[in-house]
A and B are shown apart, each in its own frame.
Chain A
Amino acid sequence: MSADVEFENLVKLYYRDLYRFGLSLTGNETDAADLTQETFYIWANKGHQLHKSASVKGWLFTTLHREFLKGCRRRNRFPSESIDEQTQELPSAPADCAQQIDSRTLLRILGEIAEDFRAPLVLYYMEDLSYKEIADVLALPLGTVQSRIARAKIQLLRRLSEPTLSLEKAK
């Protein structure tokens, strides 16, 4: 397979996933598209250095996350909230969960969660990555990743259960 065809296939396979991850990090469509594009260009120049057995998907997500941090693009596009350090009561899943809100509203609610917690939570929901792979992408210990996902998920479920959100859903 020629390098051009290989590159085109790779783009077709992963550009949606990378764009969604980029959008959840930046909260901005243009920045998400730029990050996705940049990630594939880094692949075009350096992808051959990747060991055969390593995960291409993991490499692409790691690269996008690094590029995001490098540019420090999280310029508070989302006003985020920190998460309590204390152990929180495990919530019940809201009866209709996210059934009645659209994707953009869900993305906005995710954006209210601090970036350190949002990135692992988004990978948890959107991508079929193991916890070990998520930890590798974010360069964090496995235990930290699991703890951040759990705490962020509790915050998300709480937010989805709030009456004010029901009003938004009804609009």
Chain B
Amino acid sequence: MHNKDIENKVKTAVQHSVPDILDSILSDCEGLEGEMLRMNTQTSKKSKNMSWIKPLATIAAVFVLLFVGLTSYLNMAIDSIISFDINPSIELMVNRKEKVIRVKALNEDGEKVIGNMNFKNTDLDIAVNALIGSMLTNGYIDDMQNSILISVENSNKDKSTNLQARLEGEVSRLLDASNVDGAVLSQSIVEDKDIEDLAKENMITKGKAQLVLQLVEKHEGYDFEELAKLSVNDLNLLVESKKLDIENSSKVGKASDRAYIGTDKAISIAVNHVGAKGSDIKDLEIELEYDDGRFIYEMEFYLDGIEYEFDIHAISGEILSFEKDRDDNYKDTVSKESPRPTSAPTNKPTEKPSPTSAPTSKATEKASPTPTTRPKASQKPVDPTKEAVEATASPKTDNLMSAAAARKAVMDRFGGIVQKIEYNYDSKNPLYKGEALKDGYEVDFELNARSKEFKKWDVENDDEWDEFAHALEKMITMDEAAAMVIARSGMSNTFIQKIEFDWDDEKPLYKGEAFNKDKKFSFEIHAYKGKGFYKWDVDNDDDTWEEKFYNIR
């Protein structure tokens, strides 16, 4: 039994046991209005008498802030703390000029990586270069464990975000240069006593503690102590599998699942078990899950109107559990191409329906065969927002190419730089369109986000490259700019819908638009290294994501 199943059982049991005493409450509320009025009058009188407190408190707060600010400034030899986690965990402390003050290994592997190297007063970039080099040489990053977590702690959020994006880009570049298909997860963290305690108790970095805590908070049934023992690659696999939004973080690359049998193998084990062919099964859902100290593939599919559920050990391939259940409604539901029969609309429209994570009508019926005989409330709840919150269950996710993968596909084929790329929403023919430049040439391309094939590839002679080629070394790449946008948005699944490089000697820019849920981000970033954002506008009430980009990253 999974932890989330236990949680669901508790939830359901409690809900079935709650007495419905609304009628009695409503009847006892009659005549209380007068009492409420008297209480309100007393409250307002009280607040008048206390009115002198507010200005005094403000003055006191200003003094406290001045004092704290001055003290912090005088004491602030360490400006940022940067931690790197794979299995080796290393912490770097740097000053405001990004010179290394101290390097600390937080475990034995970290000590091995540092070895005899002395980083005092070294530039941060050089230290990072040396540490990543040593991790590669010592075999801590390979095809099986390719994820690295970078955490940046700085009291200045913008500085922290920029440094995070820069380091993410730099580490990705170093891994690429060593032909390692790495996955870099980066995050900004703030000083937090709770996180510090958790890190100490579990002997991990604060960065890893924050990542683990977010996983635990965002996913039912996860246990902190168990997850804290996992490698960053395993944590990254869970983030990907569960499509979790890790706050204040961004991500480049994909975690390696080569230590496990993989989804294809897991599917084939399940399909063979029921004596079917892979092409026969419908509505397959599979995800890597961690439960009770082991990784498993949780799988569901339909075959001939029967719903099958499997748990398969992710290392041995052993079938840990297997259930089947006839669903008479299945045929109708499928023919209408509506969401899965088990994914009845819930009040959590953005979450992927899961067979056990939320009560569905089916699950609830099973759990409660006895109809309630308690008195029903006479008044139905009225939605004060007048909105049908339950009405928008997420459509099924399409396997569309991400913006980062589209940029990479263009670069792999052409080289040079992507000058402009924009995703054009079309449910039948979703396209990335744009231009790329290299010495003497320009290409106009259209790339189908679903088939991942180029639909247009027109190469022409062009000398625009000459204008900015001399400055390329001084500029960040488009991927780094995109990572900065994602980091600043605070959500790892922000979609860079449009990004363009605009050359200007003094102020070269990356500009464009990104989306996440109801937010639209319009950005301009100085292309010169270390300059940061020039413009950052957030529209908090945009519905484009929901209509067009909900299923793409």
A and B physically associate: no
Task: Please give the residue numbers on chain B whose beta carbons come within 8 Å of chain A beta carbons, in ascending order.
Answer: none
